Amino acid sequence: MVGAGARTVPPPWMDPHSSTRRKVSAMKTSRMAAWSVIVYASVAGWAFAGDVGDAAAPIDVPAEHWLNGGAVDPSKPGDTIYVVEFWATWCGPCKVSIPHLTEMQHKYAGKNVVIIGVTKDDPNNTWPMVQEFVKGQGKKMDYRVAYDRDGGVYEKYMDAFGQGGIPHAFVVDKQGRIAWHGHPMVEMDETIDKMLSGTYSVESFRKLNAAREAIKQYGELAAQDTYDATAARQVGEQVFAVGSDSRGIMFDLAKAIMELPNEERRDLELALRAARAAYDQGGDKDLFVLDIYAQALFASGDAKEALKIQRVAVTKCKDIATRTEFNKALQKYYKAASKG
């Protein structure tokens, strides 16, 4: 694992002075050119990024800063699989993930799977705040919580892997190695099931992670002043080809398209296709997949189907803040569907 504080050197396509970036923005119709983006992402990656297969870092937190159970060390090989999930008391999506993590801890009871929610100190996430929050959650947060006062654990996981958004989880295998990382509600269950059955492949994760890097590249292409729709579409199609059997990749691709600030550059056909693929692979139980699918449907002119999907998302959502946002979209879809 690359240590904290390592110099951040962006790959060539992210460097505004790089000829590589200029070449990428000028890509024409060659499928090989688009595929090379994914290959480069896989081989080069970010200079600060750790990699699956790296040794996990210990959770260096004093005993008094553990809640809902005593200290454990995922870095030590043994017979246990660990989930190290980063969250905060002020984070809405993190609150949505908490019941799911509790369900997972119960599901894997007796199978040597231990979930740890690590939260870093900040002015809006102090130790008293964390204590009060966890106490208030009660059995809804039925897994270990560690308070990372100095941010050292965050640096060794999140910073080392170039991750800035929470919630974000790392799965550590029985050999004490990082085997997977991503959103705790997107394909983490399937990953642990495969690890327990001995069918999990780190190489498959690397392939999908390369596709995630290409999604970032897609966003870069779409944000440039001189927009090349053909080049962006080719990258998007290559991501679809590599990750069409991954709910997480399809969700990320649809989300990247739907969140482009310039609505005219949103490839709605590709976004809808990716969102539907995510939905068809168990996304009907995933709040955020439901929400992005509804967005893509609505933007594509199908307000009635968007309304149907968004109603499911609102019904399933337990977090008040998230449900409020979902409800706003629901009302918008309802008005449009009523006019139709």
Task: Give residue-wise pLDDT tens across range 194-205.
Answer: 999 999 988 888
- Whether 258 has a pLDDT exceeding 70, the answer reads yes
- What's the gap between Cα 83 and its chain centre? 14
- Tell me the C-alpha distance between 87 and 84, whole Å: 10
pLDDT digits (tens, 9 = 90+) for 126-143: 999 999 999 999 999 999
pLDDT digits (tens, 9 = 90+) for 48-106: 458 889 999 999 999 999 999 999 999 999 999 999 999 999 999 999 999 999 999 99
- Whether 35 has a pLDDT exceeding 50, the answer reads no
- Tell me the C-alpha distance between 148 and 154, whole Å: 7
**Start-to-end Cα distance in the chain:** 55
- Tell me the C-alpha distance between 289 and 316, whole Å: 12
Amino acid present at 82: Y
pLDDT digits (tens, 9 = 90+) for 322-331: 899 999 999 9
pLDDT at 3: 36
pLDDT at 19: 39
- Whether 26 has a pLDDT exceeding 90, the answer reads no
Mean pLDDT of 207-229: 90
- Tell me the C-alpha distance between 79 and 255, whole Å: 37
Q: Could you tell me if residue 67 is left (phi over 0), alpha (psi between -120 and 50 degrees) or otherwise beta?
A: beta
Does this model's pTM top 0.75?
no
Name the average pLDDT for the chain. Answer: 86
Instruction: Check: CB of residue 68 under 8 Å from CB of residue 102.
Output: no
| List of residues 6+ apart from 196 with CB closer than 8 A | 81, 108, 111, 113
Across the chain, how many H-helices and E-strands are there?
A: 13, 6
- Tell me the C-alpha distance between 290 and 287, whole Å: 5
Residue with tokens 């870092």: 57
pLDDT at 15: 38
pLDDT at 273: 97
Instruction: Go through the domains of the chain in sequence order and give each one's CATH number.
Output: 12-39+204-339 (1.25.40.10), 63-202 (3.40.30.10)
User: Quick one: angle between helices 247-258 and 229-243, nearest 10?
Assistant: 160
> Which pair of tokens denotes residue 200?
């999990």
pLDDT digits (tens, 9 = 90+) for 110-119: 999 999 999 9
Measured from the Cβ of residue 155, the count of other Cβ atoms closer than 10 Å reads 16
pLDDT digits (tens, 9 = 90+) for 264-299: 999 999 999 999 999 998 888 889 999 999 999 999
